[in-house]
Chain A
Amino acid sequence: MKTSMILGTAAVICALFVSVPPASAHHAFAAEFDSESCRDFNGKLTRIDWQSPHAFFYMDVENEDGEVENWSFQTYALITLRRNGTGRHLFVQNMGEDIWVRGCLAKNGRELYAAAGLLRFEDDVLRQVGQIQN
């Protein structure tokens, strides 16, 4: 299972580079988020705001000092999420559960805020919920 997950994860990340055009005319990801400041987040899902144009979800993440911080994450537009199979119900069903997110920090210095790229609920399915830069 672990090998499958690693291979699957690698394949998905690779697919982003291979099949998605690098530039997006719709949004310039790099204008708002720092592709050099991306990291993994592990924590518990605490809230979902499902309002157009973008969903925002929140999760409690433990920092290096052992303190719990509540981070917010921006996603793709709701329409895009729906069409790639990531509906609101998945967030609702996973409320309070552990999730993993790969996200990039905001350039404007806003604390505890990032753009989510990849997300995994407890079902271990890797989902692309936003642009990923690295």
Chain B
Amino acid sequence: MKSYLRYSIPCLAVAILGFGLSLPAGAQATDETEYIVRPLPPGGPPPLLANGRPDLTGHWFPNGAGQGVSGRFGVDPAALGTFDREATPESPPVFQEWARARIDAMTPTELELSKSSVNCMPRGVPAIWLQNPYTTMLIHKPGLLAQLYEVLNNWRVIHLDGRPLPEYPEPLFHGNSAARWEGDTLVVESTGFDDRTYILPNGWFHSDQLTVTERYARPSMNYLIVEITVDDPEVLEEPWHSAPRRWTLGDGEVYEFYCTNNRELEELQLLRELELAQEEEQ
């Protein structure tokens, strides 16, 4: 944060002088614009399915721009991220004492090793909506909602035919889901999760008592809003509610992404071994 403040003011002047002079092709600022990537406008009313419900179909980007923003120059900060922490603050989860102690005991390296972005385990639900920088394509039919996650080439099918949750759910990365409509919001409740996933990349683990509620809304053509509730009475003191997370409509490819060559795992394991050796010496 200090870096942010220290560099902001002088950088504004430099940016005005410098943008457009040696930026990547396709990233040139125009004379009239400060930013070349801005938040998408609402885009009019959402499309509807034959049954009159909002059609969630689209290629959704986890930001306000409807395109990739990482590594791009001239991105309006208002287009970054899935929510504005000041406008829609998100309370932290309230952990039971034993769970808090377990998380606090993790070293930074252990924390990093636990991340699916390092160990290539599936993110699972709800993390795939909370800690996923890649896109998701939704294909929505009256009877089902298919979710094609770019990350790790994962996918999920949610049936919309009113079927109940299974009586004996097996532990799955994406859980076992049942869906219903509440007005124009699709509500998906899921139980039965593989306990190797984390809710957020901060060590927040879960128990086999985890229940996740996803609420999907498409208030306009260009915006998908996803809200998550996490209930886990063995780990949390109370249910946790996410901020409304915005995803914006884009186009282009849903890229192949099989995680087969992640050297971070090896490098971090080596670092952890060094840390353990140092701890033994002390």
Known: A18-B12, A84-B24. A25 touches B200 (CB 8 A): yes
Residues of chain B from 80 to 139 with CB closer than 8 A to chain A in the complex: 80-81, 108-109, 111-112, 115, 117-118, 120, 131, 133-134
A–B pairs, 26, beta carbons within 8 Å: A7-B18, A9-B22, A14-B15, A14-B18, A17-B6, A17-B8, A18-B7, A18-B11, A18-B77, A19-B74, A25-B202, A27-B117, A28-B108, A32-B267, A53-B117, A53-B257, A53-B259, A78-B257, A80-B133, A85-B26, A85-B27, A108-B271, A109-B274, A113-B267, A125-B22, A128-B72
Residues of B within 8 A of A127 (CB): 24, 71
Using known A-B contacts A76-B71, A125-B24, determine if residue A19 contacts B80 with beta carbons closer than 8 Å: yes
Closest to A82 in B: B255
Residue of B nearest to A49 (CB): B261
Tell me if B1 counts as interface (CB < 8 A to partner A): yes
Q: A74-B263, A106-B267 are in contact. Are A79 and B22 (CB under 8 A)?
A: no
B239 interface residue (CB < 8 Å to A):
no
Asked whether any CB of chain A lies closer than 8 Å to the CB of B214, the reply is no
Once the chains bind, are B22 and A4 in contact (CB under 8 Å)? Answer: yes
Q: Do A15 and B271 contact each other (CB < 8 Å), given the known contacts A7-B21, A10-B18, A52-B259? A: no
B168 within 8 A of partner (CB): no
The answer to whether B7 and A52 have CB atoms under 8 Å apart is no
Which residues of A have CB within 8 Å of B76? 19
For the complex formed, measure the closest distance between the CB of B33 and the CB atoms of chain A, giving whole angstroms.
14
> Does B184 lie at the interface of the complex (its beta carbon under 8 Å from any beta carbon of A)?
no
B122 to chain A, nearest CB (A): 13
Interface residues of A in 2-22 (CB under 8 A from B): 4-5, 7-12, 14-15, 17-22
**Closest-CB distance, A122 to chain B (whole angstroms):** 13
Given A18-B7, A79-B255, are A52 and B70 neighbors across the interface (CB < 8 Å)?
no
Nearest residue, chain A, Cβ from B35 = A19
Chain A interface size band reads: 35 or more
Q: Which of B74, B81, B267 contacts A15, CB < 8 Å?
A: B74
- Chain A positions near chain B (C-beta within 8 angstroms): 4-5, 7-12, 14-15, 17-22, 25-28, 30-32, 49, 51-54, 56, 74, 76-86, 106-110, 113, 124-130
- Give the chain A neighbours of B267 by CB distance below 8 A: 32, 106, 108, 110, 113
Contacts A7-B14, A7-B17, A84-B72 given; does A126 touch B80 at CB 8 Å: no
Write the residues of chain B forming the contact surface with A, with a CB cutoff of 8 angstroms: 1, 3-4, 6-8, 10-12, 14-15, 17-27, 67-68, 70-77, 80-81, 108-109, 111-112, 115, 117-118, 120, 131, 133-134, 150, 200-202, 252, 255-264, 267-268, 270-271, 274
Q: A53-B262, A83-B68 are in contact. Are A125 and B117 (CB under 8 A)?
A: no
| Chain B, interface SS category | loop
Contact between A124 and B15, CB atoms less than 8 A apart: no
Q: Select one of A14, A74, A83 contacting B67, CB under 8 A.
A: A83
Residues of A within 8 A of B264 (CB): 27, 32, 54, 74
Cβ contact within 8 Å between A108 and B11: no
Inter-chain contact B8/A8, CB cutoff 8 Å:
no
Chain A residues with CB under 8 Å of B80's CB are 19-21
- Contacts A12-B73, A107-B271; is A54 near B17 (CB within 8 Å)? no
Docked pose: A26 CA to B202 CA in angstroms = 10
- Say whether B260 contacts A51, CB under 8 Å: yes
- Which of A22, A52, A79, A126 is in CB contact (< 8 Å) with B24? A126
Is A11's CB under 8 angstroms from B3's CB?
no
Cα–Cα distance between A107 and B260 once the two chains are bound (Å): 23
Complex CA distance for A8 and B50, rounded to whole angstroms: 51
Complex contact A32–B268 (CB within 8 A)? yes
Q: Which residues of A contact B200 (CB under 8 A)?
A: 25
